[in-house]
Chain A
Amino acid sequence: MTPASLRQSPAGGSVVTAPIRWLVSWWEVILFGAVLMVLALSPSSWRDPRTRAALARHAWLDTAPILLGFSMLSALLTVVLTRIVVVTARSYGLSQYALEMVIRVLVLELIPLTAALFVALRCTIPNGAALAEMRRTGRFQAMRSTGVDPLVREALPRMVAGAFSMITLAALSCVVAALLAYLAVYQLTPAGLPAYTRMFGHVFNPSVSLIFVIKTVLFALAVSTIPMASGAYEHFAAAPSSRESAALQGLVRMFAVLLLLESVSLVGNYY
């Protein structure tokens, strides 16, 4: 099944009932994501220098401008949360558990989720809306008529750039949060480094590390694929007609998926 045949398969909008249409639309999102994944992993997709250039452009423009801002935001969040947790834990005489709690809450849970939402709101949802606009104005049709697959040329670079941006932001923010949490607790001294390193190793046991990596990768895929699917799919069962509704639909679906992934990761980590 080629991407072109996928794009042309109608879903029978008028005859199916609402729940089935809802299911079909989700199925199509999953299928679209799978197609993009296959395209991303196929060397043939990257043979065209214009696609590579598009990827480079999106990767830079989607990541670099927000890198500093998001790092500052996560640094602020880290300092405030660390302070609250450490002071509270000290008042209960449980300060030895404070740093571990900060790392678990911030690095494991909050920062990847925040990074995913930030990238979605800043990059991938506008990108999905741009795709919807192009599709609406007939840009896709024109490209297809010249023999260029719009999915490869337009959707794929945006999706890969979005995933890359999310992973970069999450990695940098986690490192910044870990450093700031150390500084907030031990100040500028290397004396606490052995204990901190050991605590880090204690928190990131193999199962937690695996869940963390899988969760971050799935977050990246979700925030980069779902808004594109909402904007780029031509024959969607509930295809949005305007740029705003495409953005809104992508946002809602993406939130639902992020919530589900976060819940599953919490269950995996703590049950």
Chain B
Amino acid sequence: MDPTPLQDSEPAAAPAVPHLAAKARLLLLFTVLLIGAAVLFLLYARGVFEPTQRLVLTTDDSEGVAVGMDMTFSGFPIGRVRRVELGPTGEVRILIDVASKDAHWLRTSSIFTLVRGLVGGTAIRAYSGVLTDPPLPEGAERPVLRGDATAELPRVIASAREVLENLTAITANDAALRNTVANLQAVTEKLKGPQGALHVLFGNEADARKVVATLERTNALLARFDTLAAKTDTQVFGPEGVVREARATVVQLNGLLADTRSSLKKVDAVLVEAQAVGANVRGATQDLGALRGDVEANLRKIDSLINEINRKWPFSRETEIKLP
């Protein structure tokens, strides 16, 4: 017997597969290609084929920093943490590979931060304010600023505890607030009493009574003032009052003023006449001026006549001066 093992070995004989060897090779090739492509994609995704530039960030605490985590710029991942190591002076050195095509975003003035959020992992972020600065050189070493949301929690809790302790102290049995409230209650009780607020103000009942008595006497005084005011009214504004007499005096004064006004008008007329006299005197004075002018002219003529006579006269003086 020469059994075909493949068929005999099967519990139920299977039909022969046409082109079995070719199909098996194809399947093997498919699997190998699939796995090879997956490996290549993975290497590409890990950035193996990407040219990078090294950047070293230094900090004092590497908590939350893990190999493989991203460094972002404006939310875009531009680099990966390759190593985290301790430096010679105990500082933490975070070695980051920045993709060369994104390295131009990092400048010499760039700032790097390491932020730990309440939810999610730690994030390394880069900020470049002045993009015209020179680019960051290969292997540059920069300090990283730390910001930790959870680091604030202990401080907040400490403050909250302080506030709570203060509250406890305020509301304690022997606290000032409790005494104040008790006093307030006593005051309220006094307010509700027969003397009311006066009792609260003066502290004892006797003083409060004095105030009431003072008020009553003031009332009586006011009543007397009232009668005094009525009498004054009669004296001043009554039929024989001061006001009426004053009014009669004013009427008489009015008559006196009218008389004075007529007297003044007469004086005014006298003054007008005096003014006319003055005007006449001024005209006479002008005529006197003209007369004086004539007299002066005549005198000048007489003078010039005498001078003429003196010159023509035989006894006239020799006026010619003879030089030697």
**Which residues of A are at the interface with B, using a C-beta cutoff of 8 A?**
50, 53-57, 59-61, 63-64, 94, 97, 129-130, 133-134, 139, 143, 148, 153-154, 164, 167-168, 171-172, 174-175, 197-198, 200-202, 204-205, 209, 243
Q: How far is the CA of A30 from the CA of B67 in the complex (A)?
A: 38
In the complex formed, the residue of B with least CB distance to A203 is B45
The answer to whether B27 and A130 have CB atoms under 8 Å apart is no
Interface residues of B in 37-85 (CB under 8 A from A): 37-38, 41-42, 44-47, 67-70, 77
Given contacts A130-B9, A130-B10, contact A201 B45 (CB under 8 A): yes
Residues of A within 8 A of B38 (CB): 171, 174-175
Given contacts A139-B8, A174-B38, contact A168 B27 (CB under 8 A): yes
Q: How far is the CA of A174 from the CA of B42 in the complex (A)?
A: 13
The answer to whether A134 and B9 have CB atoms under 8 Å apart is yes
In the complex formed, the residue of A with least CB distance to B46 is A201
Q: List 11 A-B contacts (CB under 8 A).
A: A53-B6, A53-B21, A60-B20, A60-B24, A134-B9, A168-B27, A171-B34, A197-B41, A200-B42, A202-B68, A243-B11
Question: Distance in Å from the Cβ of A163 to the closest Cβ of chain B?
Answer: 11
The answer to whether B27 and A167 have CB atoms under 8 Å apart is no
Given contacts A50-B5, A57-B6, contact A201 B27 (CB under 8 A): no
Partner of A56, one of B5, B24, B68: B24
B270 within 8 A of A: no
Interface size class of B (residues with CB under 8 A): 20 to 34
The answer to whether A60 and B5 have CB atoms under 8 Å apart is no
Q: Mark B1-32, 1 if CB is under 8 A from A, else 0.
A: 00001101111001001001101100110110
Given contacts A53-B6, A171-B31, A197-B45, contact A64 B11 (CB under 8 A): no
Question: Distance in Å from the Cβ of A160 to the closest Cβ of chain B?
Answer: 11
Partner of A57, one of B17, B34, B41: B17
Q: Give the interface SS of chain A, mostly helix, strand, loop or mixed.
A: helix
Given contacts A63-B27, A154-B5, contact A56 B42 (CB under 8 A): no
The answer to whether A59 and B9 have CB atoms under 8 Å apart is no
B302 within 8 A of A: no
The answer to whether B20 and A168 have CB atoms under 8 Å apart is no
Interface centre among A50, A60, A202, A205 (most CB of B within 10 A): A60
Residues of A within 8 A of B31 (CB): 164, 167-168, 171
B306 within 8 A of A: no
B170 within 8 A of A: no
Interface residues of B in 200-234 (CB under 8 A from A): none
Residues of B within 8 A of A153 (CB): 5, 9
Q: Mark B177-194, 1 if CB is under 8 A from A, else 0.
A: 000000000000000000
B288 within 8 A of A: no
Q: How far is the CA of A172 from the CA of B20 in the complex (A)?
A: 21
Residues of B within 8 A of A168 (CB): 27, 30-31, 34
Residues of A within 8 A of B45 (CB): 197-198, 200-201, 204
Interface centre among B17, B24, B35, B119 (most CB of A within 10 A): B24
The answer to whether A205 and B67 have CB atoms under 8 Å apart is yes
Q: How far is the CA of A20 from the CA of B70 in the complex (A)?
A: 53
Question: Distance in Å from the Cβ of A175 to the closest Cβ of chain B?
Answer: 6
